[in-house]
Structure 1
């Protein structure tokens, strides 16, 4: 999870906040967690140990998670050893002649002490909700996690504290416009595509089928899809990775067939500005009422339906 807090606002955050119009920003991040990572306590500071515990709204992080959460709940004091000591008056009562039955008298003492800055608890709260999921080696949940209260980006002390609380709670930080939607959060995990010449088919297949280093379990490849992929004859292949989910694309003119060779997952057919469309999460693609997006389910006859669709769209036989 990296560092727990920050001594200063990271330069990348300052630069991004400067590009956001208005003075208010939201401190948050997009988490990409598997079921196991959630069960292992990645969100334990919110009392979340299973994805069914989400969403969490307006929750105070547990003080057991760390120093920043304790300060958020209880406030804190900074001893100013950099400043001159000041006089502080202490009063207490003592028995007369050592015998309380004879009464008591007040004693006043003046001592030199360091000056102190007292800070009230900010009482910031957090929220977390699943906004997308993906299948692959493991089911992956994309979780929008943030500080509930908007922060004045010009208030450097409050912004620094909010960033530190976000880091301690979620293990990552970012800043967003107060009107940011789920798509703005999901932009952090868009797929970057590499266009490969058809001559590299064997290399692409080898890399796609190779074990994923460090994965607890390897994806179950659908042999029918692998065989189909080996037989098609595109202009180019495009390849990208996102978390545990592997994608491969076959490009015909301006038509992209977007496929995942592991079990589950439909084929997406994107026409036109496929670079932009392919960066959208599947949930958003499904919502789109567009003549440029089609979804082909891998049930009986899917290859025939796919080839017919491409033939009707661009008049080409894709092979396979």
Structure 2
């Protein structure tokens, strides 16, 4: 498939010039950024419009951080939609699926029953959409044919973060795919500023009427890139209400698109409506899990959570899965017509 842009798409491994720059950085916080001489003609023709660089009245204009398009390349697509990475090097774990099947072979006459099926499978490492953004800034413009532009990627990286080598490759490739250049610099941000960019801080509040819950979840403004936000939130609240959540959750600050419900100490359902491609059921102690960063929380073994993609019938699958997890915790009676089928691979 030909590249969308007239430059090298991405790297299979960290290129030598980036590795050398990384080795020379003493601190832990790494900024992914690079400078480039860009022709005014290319800017005028829209080559860099997708990263917010344009010309207005003869002056170079920038539009701040922008989300790179998913079709810019493989890594940009993963940034926008997430990435499911099969790990055959990890131990196998039991996994449960839910599905509907016709009663006595004839669903039209006898109805349908939701069943569950469990077997041992390879774990998958699921990366949710990363939300990386690119920001262009003009460093030098003397009115000639060329201008010097800095392209910077956010968020920054930390050497101590899980999967740092993979995240470095991912980040430099997003920048490369969208700008044709990539590099790393020591960040001048403090550690506290870095933590603030990745930590998912939850606002927790008890159930109330549907209108009260929706008003609290929606807050004063809907997140960007989340159309019909209030409608989606109201639909989820209606779904959650029948399962009697203990608390509702809403991300604070820059994470206002995250919301969900807590049903037990180790059972939380949440999603990010900015991307809106899946609902997550998290099976970890909430006190511990709520302190983890947004990136660390879902950059993990999927034994700790289930992901229900928003494909046809996802609401029924979510209800069945949630019902079963509540039953396992003694918080709900077994569903009528429940037929668990447990199968294991031979050891």
Normalising to structure 2: TM-score of the pair? 0.45
Who wins on radius of gyration, i.e. which is larger?
Answer: 1
TM-score using structure 1 length: 0.48
